Chain A
Amino acid sequence: MDARAVFALLVSGRLGLALSFPWLPDALKYDHMLSSPLTARLRLQEGIFLYQHDIDPYSGSAFRHSPLYLSLFTTLLPIISSPTACILLWTAADALAAYSLVRIWRARAGGASERDGLVAAAYLLNPYLFLPSLGLSTSTFENLSILLALMFACEGSSSPALLAFALATHLTPPLSSLLLLLPLLGVLLSGPASSLEDPCTFTSPALRMTRLGAEYLTYVLVLGAAAAIVVGDDTYTLKWGWVGQTWGTSLTLPDLTPNIGLWWYFFTEMFDHFRPFFLGVFSIHLVIYIMPISIKFQHDPLYASFLLIGILATFKAYLTLADPGLFLSMGILFPEVWTYLRHPLPTFLLHLHAALLLPLLHALWTSHGTGNANFFYAATLVMGVANGAGVVDWCWAGMRIAIGGRGGVAGGRKIRVKGGDGEGVLEEEKDEEVKTTHSEWELEEGWEERWEVVQE
């Protein structure tokens, strides 16, 4: 089917689903799995209400969204109290995010392909993504901004990419953007094409990288100043109280509302004297992953950003289902790696297990009173294991692919073979053609023993 038809069908299906159950956003607004204190629409609505009544929305503990949301929903789109308009906006954001994903895929695959519809479906049909979107969680916009940044980066337009990423920096917790900055610059500098099977050293044009970093920083500061003006009063004075309430929240965890992540129960149960220490450990632990993964996957920074999104989806503070959803949906971009995943089925089953346990045990604890907090904590541990298993598997497979050996000779790469019979080049253009090429070459069993493979 035509990719456009598939896309239109999926979006209208999503919209139809959301509009035919208009009570859903209201029913899901308190759901701790779909929206965190940083992303709940109820809190956004409250913040806008306070803002419109000349009360500093950041003076209390209710509102922790970026001031940019305030300006968006008070001037351009004053629709936050209308569920139908919100559903339309959120669906549009999802559609745009799915479209970005498709364009990332096209940039990576080098043009439109039959897989476009599948890529869009992977985003729009992912329950981890459309449930938070139905609950009107602003994590939809976080994912959208990240995907937009990646899309522009993949297409080589650096300024829009950095602007979108600066927006993502403002909308998401600061550690998220810190983790993704390096791979994003890498995508800008070396392109999105898949080179997982053909690792090469990334030669860093230091000057260009610094310039891009400076541009990004400028955008962040400009948006920050805009945010400060939004929060400030009419005299265009800057107010910075929102910084601690938005960015600071995910570092210091003042709100212990349960979510599917690991932080909330850990710091509910933490001894007060060790709280700062472990807050540091949990934050730094996230940062630790940046360099190893960026270095190891320097030949394919898009893959590195994918893995770091997976790390975030496992260990971020104030996690919602939309974070692992983004990671899982982005997996569609790397079909060449699929065959090298060691345990995709157990990972899937772990996710299924977690997805069933989380709402069940949450209800047992908070509604029925037949379970306690440990029940839900156990379910979040399963979620953590599922996410962790996914990240580890993709990390492993991303490196395993480089040496081939399973499912075909080359899997889309070009290799030079040397051996007793002389020298030749095995070359394949697309991974879809692996089998035919393989059979054409008619390599006999055990060719690897007689040929030396030199990768290029």
Chain B
Amino acid sequence: MTRTLKLQCAVVVVAALCVHATVASSEEYTEDLLLRPLRDGKVASTFTFTTLLHSSPDDAQHYTLFPLALGQILRAHAVTELHLSLNAGKWDYRQWHYPDHPAVATGAELWAWMPGTGADIDARWAGLRNSLAGLFCASLGSLDQRRTLAPTDAYQPLGDLPVFQYDTANGTTTSTTHHLRHATLPSENVCTENLTPFLKLLPCKDGASTHACSLARLLNPQRLFDADWHGMGVHVRWLGGGEHSEGTIELKLVVQAVLDPVRTSGGRRDWSLTSLFDRVLDGTCPVAGSSTVRVVLPSEDSGGMYRLSPEAETGDAQHPEVEAHARPTPLDVSMAWHTERVFEYPEYGYHGGDGNEYAHAPPTIHRFLHHTAQTHGVLTLSITNPARDALLRVGYLETLPALVVPWVSTLSAEVVSGKDGGMDGRGEYISDLVYHPSRALSPPPSSPPSSFWPSLASLTPSTSTLHSPSLLQATLTVPPNSTLRVQLALSKAFLRYTEHPPDAMRGWDLPGGVLFPRIHTPALLTDLPTPDFSMPYNVIILSCTLLTLVFGSVFNAVTRGWGIVDLSGGGEDNNSGSGVGGDKEMKDGEEEPKGGEERVIKGGDGEGEGGKGRGM
């Protein structure tokens, strides 16, 4: 115990390598579980299942370990690099530090690099998201053009992009370029129905039905979805070899969860595989090249006196490793703080401290949307640079759906605490500003055929729901040990009543901002002003009534003949003034003066009036 206490990052490998089966040399499979106790008593666990496929792209798809279902999708849509993550919860960078795998955006996030040209890519992108939606039972189909962008700076390819050269008709050699498509759906929920098809992609399933067990055995849905934060990801990339090598396709299936033993074990932070997952490792995957469980030991200031079991066996003082092929199953890894009766939560976030932890702590980021009115708001990002003496330079990416219109001219930045660092003004804090306003998309071709005037309907542009998102990207420079506040005013769209979702009062999710390389801020909920959904008929009736009222009155006035009718002969009404506009005067033209007593002054339409009145 005392030995491990000194180690910043010891690794216990409890692996079982049982490669008895003859695995095709073109495919390799490894699995890995990383457990990391966090300073607030939680445990971050990361399952990584990696499959490497060394093959030329023209091979027939005879896979042994690589999942055929995914391979077919990648082949059909010619995807070079693919990243899909389905996450629930908000990753707390201040307490949990950086995640072991960076794709922690809330909800669904899908991005892919594909070779080809514009329209072709859009078609394949649509096919890709629909295929993945079917494969993973997720609403990825709604990641359509209204949510798709190409933020290439923030989402650089993590692998290599192959260069396909081909000869064009006129003899020149052209190489294809790769394009990025990226979309997020922050409101997507992650649940068992997504995990089941995910596990089916593994060569060793969860072990419930076969005696071949693997680390996936630990993926107990009841514990996984009880976690404070959980998510899964599919990451495919292409790793180029030499000039003539055909390269390698790497598939990583990742499950991350932040489990809370303090909550489940009554105040203590002791954990074991049993307490975290309610299961133990009772076997290994026979086709896995390696199958490891690693534990990152807590840092000194939050570590305390703990015992890790089983103990590390080999390795140097800094990074001991355990080769434990012969370790009997079932295997349970546990960590216990015997001297600690009840876990005391540390102060929130990383504070003080002189260790490396402080120097490399993530910047503190708050992003919120605030204003009192429903019609507009201010998006504020406050970012604190924890470093004592180094400027923090990060890329900042906002992809805002057309539900909100950002006013980029109002973008401003100021240092609200800490030292200014001699910088002043927007030009210093915000640089390399890139902005693509949301643009109108062509309406989907499937307009209802029953529409009476389909051609006319296509002429009327829709409101903001048929627009691409707007993209705002900038480089932020934060002076050391200070907080930068970036503010952006935005207006909210007014949608047609048919464009609101069924639960309109819930509001809309805005995807989180990205500070790249790869810090995701939580999604935001914004409420849009809603119309009254029960009013269509009433509004049509009331507005049209007003329309016809005014039109009728003006029509009445301009078509009316004008004249003064002297009714003294009739004896009832002698008031010529009030007779104007009465019924009788409409008869002008037919009416003849009846005698000397009755005279008519007319200024009517002039028809048949002779010399009496000229036309008005």
Contacts and interface: CB of A to CB of B under 8 A. Distances in A.
Contact of A395 (B464, B530, B557): B557
Contacts of A89: none
A20 interface: no
A454 B612 contact: yes
B530 A372 contact: yes
Interface string A291-314: 011011001000000000001001
A269 B540 contact: yes
B153 to A, nearest CB: 17
B376 interface: yes
B543 A406 contact: no
Contacts of B536: 269-271
Given A272-B496, A373-B529, A449 B580 contact: no
A265 B557 contact: no
Interface residues of B, number: 83
A391 interface: yes
A256 B603 contact: no
Nearest to B436: A55
Interface stretch (A167-175, A221-229, A273-281): A273-281
B547 A449 contact: no
B568 A449 contact: yes
B457 A275 contact: yes
> Could you say which interface size class chain A belongs to?
35 or more
Interface stretch (A8-16, A109-117, A344-352, A396-404): A396-404
A365 B529 contact: yes
A405 B580 contact: yes
Nearest to B575: A405
B616 A367 contact: no
Given A255-B494, A405-B580, A30 B373 contact: yes
A311 B461 CA distance: 26
B554 interface: yes
Nearest to B466: A254
Given A55-B437, A292-B558, A403-B601, A266 B546 contact: no
A325 interface: no
A373 B530 contact: yes
B374 A268 contact: no
A277 B408 contact: no
A256 B495 contact: yes
A69 to B, nearest CB: 14
A413 to B, nearest CB: 11
Nearest to B498: A272
Contact of B463 (A254, A269, A289, A296): A254
Contacts of B577: 405-406
A125 interface: no
Interface stretch (B67-75, B133-141, B264-272, B448-456): B448-456
B551 interface: yes
Contacts of B606: 201
Given A46-B407, A402-B562, A448 B457 contact: no
A60 B439 CA distance: 5
Contacts of B563: 403
B558 A46 contact: no
Contacts of B405: 60-62
B553 interface: yes
A30 B375 contact: yes
B519 to A, nearest CB: 26
B4 to A, nearest CB: 56
B508 to A, nearest CB: 16
Interface in A359-415: 365-367, 369, 372-374, 377, 381, 384-385, 388, 391-392, 395-396, 399-400, 402-403, 405-406
23 contacts: A46-B407, A49-B408, A53-B433, A61-B402, A61-B467, A199-B616, A254-B462, A262-B546, A262-B547, A266-B539, A276-B457, A292-B554, A292-B559, A299-B616, A366-B373, A373-B529, A385-B546, A388-B549, A392-B550, A392-B557, A395-B558, A452-B599, A455-B603
Interface of A: 30, 32, 42, 45-46, 48-50, 53, 55, 59-62, 81, 199-201, 252, 254-258, 262, 264-273, 275-277, 279, 285, 288-289, 292-293, 295-296, 299, 311, 314-315, 365-367, 369, 372-374, 377, 381, 384-385, 388, 391-392, 395-396, 399-400, 402-403, 405-406, 448-449, 451-455
Interface of B: 372-376, 402, 405, 407-410, 433, 435-440, 448, 451-453, 456-457, 459-464, 467, 470, 489, 491, 493-498, 529-532, 535-536, 539-540, 542-543, 546-547, 549-551, 553-555, 557-560, 562-564, 566, 568, 576-577, 580-581, 597, 599, 601-603, 606, 611-616
Given A201-B614, A252-B460, 11 more contacts: A42-B410, A61-B438, A268-B495, A268-B539, A292-B558, A366-B373, A366-B375, A388-B550, A392-B553, A399-B558, A403-B563
